A and B are shown apart, each in its own frame.
Chain A
């Protein structure tokens, strides 16, 4: 880091506020992460829950508040940084991931979050999103997926189901939707997870794991837009239907679901199928045991999405380790300094062939 930035940061350390400093300091709470701005999402919007759960888990991370940065693009979800008492950047449509990449490279000491949506992150910003993930920049991405364009008032999005009737598709959409988790896996993202706005406990656990992961963390967050796409995920989030439709992924545990915990996922070749644990033909031993380190399994599970006869997996599909981009960039610089010595301006300007005129 540069001389100036170094100086600022060492001064900052000396004057550090109690935030995030657990020893002998006042306990930091979710409230410390709430800014003075009024939250302006529509009443009943799923975004409120995501904001609340995020603010809830941040104190547990032991990272000083001033080291946290929330970066967003454009869309309903992208107002998020205004409501966070951290550093924040509400940028332009689709580019939050690229801005976050630059910031992380310049400042590997920061904890950086990208807040985006299915339009911002997968449509206009799709390119930056896949490249962020393949590079494994150490940034946490929360993608609010409501399967609709909210801020522009109700056009279909790249995750809307085929046939969706919206203002811009009065005869039904003819687009096939993205499967964000599969896209993330296809982009070699090291941490890929899915959670839901109406399942706060699960969301907290997933967000915490995402924050702790070194490398790009991608969390697809199902989020209800109660104005333009109300109930898109109700089959997965509401009490009456949830247990039959959702498969919670837990590392090291067999894939079991159902109200009575009486169904499981069995692998028939490479094809996941639902088997009954009650009919006497199958037991727990026939089920897939979830393994976050197994990339092949992650693909199989992610591809259960949108398949009518299968429950929808939520949880952590994959969590693997790979050196991060920012880490490797810093290392190359260190190595160059070790090998060639720290460059001085004088040396640089006179490099190459020179001659002197007396």
Chain B
């Protein structure tokens, strides 16, 4: 049968299966191949907290969505065009993500009586008309995989583990992707296990060949490369970018990087990555708990390192007292919070932006901490670099906010040249003449960094209130107020040291959509869509949450309406209303999922009228 090729501008695919089916790996491979082929893209891993949840259950379903195209891609896609479902539960959980008329590729072996029962299907959906509004492709992936490996005498367990590569091979054929980079990856990954490598490659090719030969698939699609800026690219997740940004900051500060951390989802990958970078002089310390993670970093900072602790919401709560100590002793420290659904243990593997107020106010006493937030996976690099710069220049702990969506999501990233990054080396105090631990720089109000080992600068710091200038313990009432105001003023003055905020779109108009963090892509897509429709709407995305940039008030006052879209109950909106007294309205979603751009578009329509 003749096969035809159609060209597409963008596609969203969702791979779904049991949490042990290797769906994250399949998605990552498809992503890397698409990135190398020049597509712009954005991804959304969606996996359960259980490592190997009972097979076939609804709560054990793991998904990975990728949105790729020849145009600019800012979100992982509101809905998918194609759903690959390895079993009945995967179909059941993910069907609502599929567009009407979309395609479903199912592994029929995953629809036996037991699977159907676990997924809560009374009848097999493949055998009735419940899926009639979709195009369904039924393939017995398990059987075809087994046949492909029949002569290898591998245990069935191993054979079963390769079936995701059959699905990947089919998808590579349908979307006209090269299988080479995945083959390279397999060979590298299973260097010492030749038979496993061979099995995976065979199954991958079998999937490809099956799609090409069988009559099931008659159309294949071409998604041309996107027009991206010139340069060298790699695919990067937010957590990878955060790790790289920290190494870059230490390098540009000519300091050693020290990470004190305790494993926690979804932040652990930063600890893993940094632990690999020993040849870059990075010291990583897996502490006994979150508190030791941050306090060991404070100790390293006292010694003159660029000190970092990484965590997620519950861990940040545990570090609270120590961050207050860092505020008091005025030492540089970067606290990385990859936010997840809360409160308490909450939704460990799902995303949320509900730690902004914790970052702002979650300490005893008046303890202001600067906050920087990243907007895309690649931007995590620059934002954590900026957080480090501020920490070193202003001698203060700085909170860097990312989230599970950014941390695990990925996009193609234009690799910066090291020369393009600014020098951020601090100046250590060495002159003993006239040294006092709490003398401040006139402009920044930062105190000086005097590290142990420097003769004549022996001094004591601590959590008790400090006397202005000398740093001696002081219970004097006026001194306490002066010090509180000085510490607050120091943080406020960071606003003099950061660029002004920029509006995307017109600087005046009917509606400004304000966001921060990982909502950038969804808001941008929605605002662009509405602007194309002729609506007077612009976007303001905040990277600096504390202090706010100096022109934020001015920008807000230029719009008739202000909409603040957040993955929480309305946290930034509280800060903006309190500071600028604007009648902003909120768009809030708290489902552990990022915004769909359509949800933001709907809200824009609601405010501005129209469809």
Contacts and interface: CB of A to CB of B under 8 A. Distances in A.
Nearest to A330: B283
Interface string A102-119: 111111011000000000
B303 A350 contact: no
A92 interface: yes
B279 A106 contact: no
Interface centre among B225, B244, B451, B459 (most CB of A within 10 A): B451
Given A12-B430, A67-B453, A106-B300, A128 B472 contact: no
Interface in A70-126: 71, 74, 81-82, 84-92, 95, 98-107, 109-110
B228 A353 contact: no
A37 interface: yes
A101 to B, nearest CB: 5
A61 interface: no
Interface in B230-263: 230-235, 244, 247-248, 250-251, 253-256, 258, 260
Contacts of B140: none
Nearest to B281: A333
B418 interface: yes
B320 to A, nearest CB: 11
Interface stretch (A151-159, A168-176, A190-198, A335-343): A335-343
Interface string B461-493: 111100000001100000000000000000000
Contacts of B473: 82
Contact of B283 (A67, A329, A344): A329
A8 B304 contact: yes
B45 interface: no
B190 interface: no
Interface in A290-332: 329, 332
Nearest to B227: A357
A17 B430 CA distance: 13
B280 A343 contact: yes
| Main SS at interface, chain B | mixed
A11 interface: yes
Interface string B444-458: 000000011111111
A286 interface: no
A345 B417 CA distance: 9
B59 interface: no
B503 interface: no
A23 interface: no
Given A8-B453, A341-B279, A89 B289 contact: no
A66 B457 contact: yes
A336 B279 CA distance: 5
B288 interface: yes
A35 interface: yes
A332 B255 CA distance: 18
Contacts of B464: 90
A65 interface: yes
B258 A102 contact: yes
B89 interface: no
B282 to A, nearest CB: 8
A91 B295 contact: yes
B28 to A, nearest CB: 11
B291 interface: yes
Nearest to B324: A92
A357 B233 CA distance: 8
Given A2-B255, A98-B299, A128 B415 contact: no
Interface centre among A4, A19, A102, A345 (most CB of B within 10 A): A102
Nearest to B431: A15
Contact of B234 (A15, A74, A131, A352): A352
A105 B455 contact: no
Contact of A102 (B307, B425, B426): B307
B418 A349 contact: yes
B454 A12 contact: yes
Contact of B254 (A2, A333, A350): A2
Interface string B283-312: 101011101100111111111110100000
Contacts of B301: 102
Nearest to A84: B460
Interface in A197-244: none
Interface stretch (B30-38, B65-73, B204-212, B584-592): B30-38
A352 B232 CA distance: 12
A350 B234 contact: yes
B33 to A, nearest CB: 9
A101 B451 contact: no
A131 B292 contact: yes
Interface in A1-39: 1-5, 8-9, 11-12, 15-17, 19, 35, 37
Contacts of A99: 295-296, 298-299, 302
B430 A67 contact: no
A301 B62 CA distance: 56
B229 interface: yes
Nearest to A325: B285
A348 B247 contact: yes
Contacts of A285: none
Contacts of A110: 303, 452-453
A270 interface: no
B277 interface: yes
B557 interface: no
Given A3-B254, A87-B452, A127-B289, A105 B233 contact: no
Contacts of B506: none
A8 B285 contact: no
A92 B321 contact: yes
Contacts of A5: 255-256, 303-305, 428, 451, 453
A16 B456 CA distance: 9
8 contacts: A66-B455, A98-B296, A105-B296, A105-B300, A106-B256, A332-B278, A339-B279, A345-B251
Given A99-B295, A343-B279, A348-B277, 6 more contacts: A4-B253, A81-B460, A91-B325, A98-B296, A106-B307, A355-B233
